[in-house]
Structure 1
Amino acid sequence: MYLLYYSPGACSLAAHILLEELAQPFKLELRSALKGIGTQTPEYLSINPKGRVPALLCLDSPIGEEAGVLTELPAILAYLALEEKTGRFIPGTPGELGRCLEWLNWLSGTVHSLSYGQVWRPQRFVDDENLFPAIVEKGRRNVMDNYRFIEQHIVEAQGPSVLRGYNVVHPVLLVFWIWGKWIDLDMNKSFPAWHRLVQSVIERPAVQRALATEGIDLKLFD
């Protein structure tokens, strides 16, 4: 039995989707400042000192040799997919696995932490509030550059590619597509190949269950 600490529509959605895909027994615990239950409370910081979501706890046994939660989205996705041992959601060869981890780490480190960090958390980059608007604007430009890169690689994924089929990368791409909508980007028109990919992803029952639980309306994807 797993316990996933999550926030609706955050990057933790990708881990939530994978748990639904695996049909593993799991529970969810909400952590959202917007809901009045944030990640900076003393209680949550005692569980995850990083003060972020997602965080995954196995209630039956430790994850690896260490007790406590597993953090960082790429680590959680890789752990869950590998623990299942069927290879349905993560490549099996070293080369393909390397490409998969390459995407997960770039999406997490560059697109999320850097670009969206600038858009939504400029205070993480500078203390001077007068500089916040410039940081936010630079973040939006970085997001657009990142999204053009994603679109190009989806278009070019005709041969062997981690972006073909369905694996742990696709729920993360879904999250960033949603975030693009949330910052008022025209995701359908500007990134048509990505939009088509997302349409195929949201047809999956596991994805629909996770979206419904987190209150994300399928009309967002029209």
Structure 2
Amino acid sequence: MKLYYRPGTCSLAAHIVLEWLGLPYELESVDTRDPEFFNVNYLATVPVLFTEEMGSLYQNSAILRYLSRLPEGLHLGPGDDPVMNCQCDYWLSFFSADLYRAFAPYFNPEKYTTDTSPEAKKAIKAAVPAQVAPLLKRMDMHLASRDYYLEDELGIIDASAFVYCYWATKVLPEGLRDYPNVARHFADMKADPGVQKVMAVEGLT
């Protein structure tokens, strides 16, 4: 397997899960603005996971679900329980749609306005914390009674959540201070040896 990634982006989740699997894999850090990368993914987004079995896989949620269906990754997914499968799909959708959409204007404010002035971009970025807050609150309430997102089993949802919590520590003025359960989960994830290895490889602090 080969993962095309950019440090600190959504591909961080797939990178973590690949490390947890313990299977051999390759990494290629890419510049999504490089025209050469369009040959890998014409939408110019990461992650992209290439496998001999499936070819190129796109979209973070689909990649995480694929990895959790491998024999080595079954313990990281929802198993056969239909309720857990529903919960898994809910959280993957929550992160990739709702939370990503709330954060995205901070990183690419120019995509959300026709006003190219610095003031317009600054205003867009300033609105992000208020958009993110109710979503982090939802996560915090969920984690109030459990250690991980799917009952008490570490898995792909936790890897996905870690990405957005990492962004929150960089973007929000108070980081995760107002979300103690999310902060606890984030700290537990940072202490995981696999996560630490991935963070070091990607040069993240």
TM-score normalised by length of structure 2: 0.89
Q: Does 1:8 align with 2:7?
A: yes
Deviations along 1:76-119, whole A, 9 cap, x unmatched? Answer: 1000110236521001112201111110111011111x111122
- Structure 1 gaps of 5+ residues are 32-37, 218-222
**Residues 163 and 9 of structure 1, relative CA distance in 2, 3 Å threshold:** farther
Structure 2 counterpart of 1:216? 204
Q: 1:83 aligns with which of 59, 70, 75?
A: 70
Partner of residue 43, structure 1? 36
CA contact (8 A) 2:4 2:46 kept: yes
Sequence identity (%): 27
The letter of the residue matching 1:151 is D
Cα pair 1:6 1:53 within 8 Å, conserved: yes
Match in the other structure for 2:48: 55
Q: What residue in structure 1 maps to residue 83 of structure 2?
A: 95
Q: Which residue of 1 aligns with 2:105?
A: 118
Q: What letter matches 2:32 in structure 1?
A: T
Structure 2: unaligned runs, 5 residues or longer = none
Contact 1:117 1:124 in 2 (8 A): no
Shift, 1:188, TM fit? 4.6
Q: Distance in 1 between matches of 2:3 and 2:73?
A: 22
Whether the 8 Å CA contact 1:119–1:140 is kept in 2: the answer is no
Q: How big is the shift at 1:150?
A: 1.3
Q: Are 1:123 and 1:129, in contact at CA under 8 Å, matched by a contact in 2?
A: yes
Q: In structure 2, do the counterparts of structure 1 residues 184 and 134 end up closer, same or farther at CA, with 3 Å as the change threshold? A: closer
Out of 183-192 and 204-213, give the one that drifted further.
Answer: 183-192
Q: Which runs of 4+ in 1 moved over 6 A?
A: none
Q: Determine if the alignment matches structure 1 residue 200 to structure 2 residue 188.
A: yes
2:137 corresponds, among 144, 148, 151, to 148
Checking the alignment, whether the CA contact within 8 Å between 2:143 and 2:149 is kept in structure 1 is no
The reply to whether residue 27 of structure 1 matches residue 43 of structure 2 is no
Q: Secondary structure at the match of 1:57?
A: strand
- Is the deviation greater in 91-100 or in 18-27? 91-100
Tell me how far 1:152 sits from its aligned partner: 1.7
Q: What SS does the aligned partner of 1:24 have?
A: coil
The amino acid across from 2:160 in the alignment is: V
Cα deviations across residues 100-146 of structure 1 (Å, max 9, x unaligned)? 1110111011111x111122212222222354333323322111222
